[in-house]
Chain A
Amino acid sequence: AIQMTQSPSSLSASVGDRITITCRASQYIRHDLDWYRQKPGKTPELLIYAASTLHSGVPPRFSGSAFATEFNLTISSLQPDDFASYYCLQTYAFPRAFGQGTRVHI
């Protein structure tokens, strides 16, 4: 099964900061990777699909990029709503796999 290694597991930041979260796949997955944000007590929300395509209604401060088996989620200017947990999800093969998650906190 494909494994996703996400880093960092936790990140301290401030409003306005630029942050980057990384997921590495254990094998080639094309660009079949989604990014989700999960606010406390809520279900996950899709931010980006196909590694770099912004989901409808998602603010442009979110962006995704891919380099071989390494995938990045960048938030250009953190907003209060962004203090949450973030997960990548590989959609290349079954079984699917989430990264371990990144908690972004103040």
Chain B
Amino acid sequence: EVQLLASGGDLVQPGGSLRLSCITSGFTLTDYAMTWVRQAPGKGLEWVSGFSGPEQSTHYSDSVKGRFIISRDNSKNTVYLQMNSLRADDTAVYYCARFGGQPYWGQGTMVSVSS
């Protein structure tokens, strides 16, 4: 059974850092385009960052490029999102998702950036 479990969300001050984790099971991590998507309260979906291709290249939206870093640990079946220089407009539920074939979404983890 495919499962994605996101964690690490918290309340953080502007300028702070946070690392999100997405523990996966039921499939091979590198066979799919693992992705982070966020949704600000009452707003729409925003694609944030993801892997692509056999070489597992990394990609970022313009809004997070230079501040966020996506990575993975295949031995732990886990994808990470290191978030630095956080701003108020980064406040959102962060979902990890598996794209390619049947999509799967984790339940999301809440990140709040506020002083």
Binding site for B on A (CB under 8 A): 1, 36, 38, 43-44, 46, 56, 85, 87, 89, 91, 94-101
Contacts and interface: CB of A to CB of B under 8 A. Distances in A.
Contact of A101 (B44, B50, B103): B44
A22 to B, nearest CB: 15
B105 A44 contact: yes
Q: Which 4 A-B pairs have the closest CB atoms?
A: A101-B44, A43-B105, A94-B59, A96-B47
Contacts of A1: 61-62
A43 B47 CA distance: 14
B103 A46 contact: yes
Contacts of A101: 44-45
B44 A100 contact: yes
A38 B60 CA distance: 23
A96 B45 contact: no
A57 B37 CA distance: 24
B61 A85 contact: no
Interface of B: 35, 37, 44-47, 50, 52, 57, 59-62, 95, 99, 102-103, 105-108
A98 B46 contact: yes
B52 A98 contact: no
B61 A43 contact: no
A43 B108 contact: yes
Nearest to B46: A98
B52 A87 contact: no
Contacts of A97: 47, 61
Contacts of A100: 44
Given A1-B61, A43-B95, A98 B47 contact: yes
B60 A95 contact: yes
A87 B45 contact: yes
Contacts of B62: 1, 95
A89 B37 CA distance: 11
Nearest to B58: A94
